[in-house]
Structure 1
């Protein structure tokens, strides 16, 4: 039995693949253009401050509400398994190491992309509908430098701060379940983490959070600046930017984690 692809389906696949590559190239170009004038801080500093305040306001509480039960759930599951193996005191180390290495940057990036990135896409899309972006170009003001650059740096800074908040909140949630409910001593809970963590783990985590926040903001701005000029186009751009940001964050996290573990193999 042989299978064949119809010419129409082949052309549709080719068109979509070509459109995806063009969109990825445009995204990369906007990112480089936004970074090119980073040194001219006085042109975007106050917009940067406003975006930092906005992102911190809309993401701080959701991150805490996500990290607390997440740390508690991980501690509960690992604590039960470790108790059966007679190593319940290692639960704290497993929880905190997992938070530092993987959970913190991913949770911060996803909250930035979901809560802050959707607002950025809506804002940029509304500016496109009202022809504000075109008006800025007519006045010799580069919209990428004035609007995208501060949002990228604000998202990267807030994402880095949120990663630290995720670690603290998750550790508190794990502490409550592991120490107060499962009977592990506080010293054993934190001693296991200090024995497994390295300074390079924290450095890579903060680097990933910084990079993921910048990627989320860049995707959001690109989707809003290139959406269809209608309210429906803005709504679709918001959905598309969130999905694309999630996919890029997961892909970059896999690559960075793989390179890091090859360079610094985990020690037991």
Structure 2
């Protein structure tokens, strides 16, 4: 490239692999740090309250149209093929297994994750992180671990709320707008759904919360170029988290389908 520096594809792939390796290694360190004393209880409580306060309202508002859209789309499809009696099971299972964990993780990553990344990035460019290391304080144990724990716990709790709101919204729109039968909606759900469907949604929420907090903290500790660099790593953290969420969701769903047998009618 004239007047510039040409970046080879091999260099881009190598850089991406190094970043992924460093992120994976930091994830292992953070996971191990969750069980290491002393526990940062005060920092955890503060971060838990912050993450919950900025995420609960958007999650509740988004879950209503999510559940409604899924129910309306599935209701239209089941009506075309003459399987209206299975609309309740299909919509509720879609909300519990897929929509609720994804909605929860996207809200936490976009709201709380961006704020966490900006906070740690500002601390880094002000050399607070370097000062902590000089004093012998581990930034990973003191700052990252409580933030990741907070995003995991909030994700699990919000997932339950989003599931309830999404199912209730889907039930309302199916019965009121599509003329469905309340008894048929509930009967099909109770016939085809089972407890592992709820557990897999909760597991996804925990894993997604871990990823959201980890990526936000990882990118927040690596800004470059002053305040502009902080803004860049915030955008990068959100994008990377979204990509990881959908990939990990596919992997967990694939494993779940292979391990847990479908419920017989």
Instruction: Label 1:84 to 1:31 Cα distance change in 2 as closer, same or farther (>3 A).
Output: closer
Deviations 1:154-201 (A, max 9, x none): 111111111111111111111111112222232221221111111111
TM superposition shift of 1:75 = 1.5
- Supply the distance in 1 between the matched residues of 2:8 and 2:255 (Cα, whole angstroms): 36
| Counterpart pick for 1:26 among 22, 25, 49 | 22
1:49 aligns with 2:45: yes
| Counterpart pick for 1:127 among 98, 102, 123 | 123
1:91 aligns with 2:87: yes
- Supply the distance in 1 between the matched residues of 2:8 and 2:18 (Cα, whole angstroms): 15
Contact 1:128 1:229 in 2 (8 A): no
- Structure 2 equivalent of residue 5 of structure 1: none
1:198 aligns with 2:194: yes
- Supply the distance in 2 between the matched residues of 1:86 and 1:252 (Cα, whole angstroms): 34
- Supply the distance in 2 between the matched residues of 1:137 and 1:159 (Cα, whole angstroms): 30
CA RMSD, Structure 1 to Structure 2 (Å)? 1.8
Q: For 1:29-178, what aligned pairs fall within 5 Å after superposition?
A: 29-40=25-36, 42-178=38-174
- Supply the distance in 1 between the matched residues of 2:205 and 2:238 (Cα, whole angstroms): 17
Deviations 1:235-263 (A, max 9, x none): 11011111111111111111111111111
Contact 2:70 2:94 in 1 (8 A): no
* Greater displacement, 254-263 / 72-81: 72-81
1:226 aligns with 2:245: no
- Supply the distance in 2 between the matched residues of 1:55 and 1:10 (Cα, whole angstroms): 41
Aligned residue-pair number: 261
Deviations 1:114-160 (A, max 9, x none): 11110011001000011010010011100000000011111111111
Instruction: Label 1:9 to 1:95 Cα distance change in 2 as closer, same or farther (>3 A).
Output: farther
Superposition TM-score, scaled by structure 1 size: 0.92
Runs of 4+ in 1 over 4 A off after TM superposition: 8-11
Instruction: Label 1:82 to 1:132 Cα distance change in 2 as closer, same or farther (>3 A).
Output: same
- Structure 2 equivalent of residue 214 of structure 1: 210
- Supply the distance in 2 between the matched residues of 1:145 and 1:112 (Cα, whole angstroms): 21
- Supply the distance in 2 between the matched residues of 1:266 and 1:43 (Cα, whole angstroms): 41
* Greater displacement, 65-74 / 258-267: 258-267
1:182 aligns with 2:181: no
- Supply the distance in 2 between the matched residues of 1:223 and 1:78 (Cα, whole angstroms): 39
Instruction: Label 1:205 to 1:257 Cα distance change in 2 as closer, same or farther (>3 A).
Output: same
Structure 1 gaps, min length 5: 1-7
- Structure 1 equivalent of residue 262 of structure 2: 266
- Supply the distance in 2 between the matched residues of 1:229 and 1:127 (Cα, whole angstroms): 14
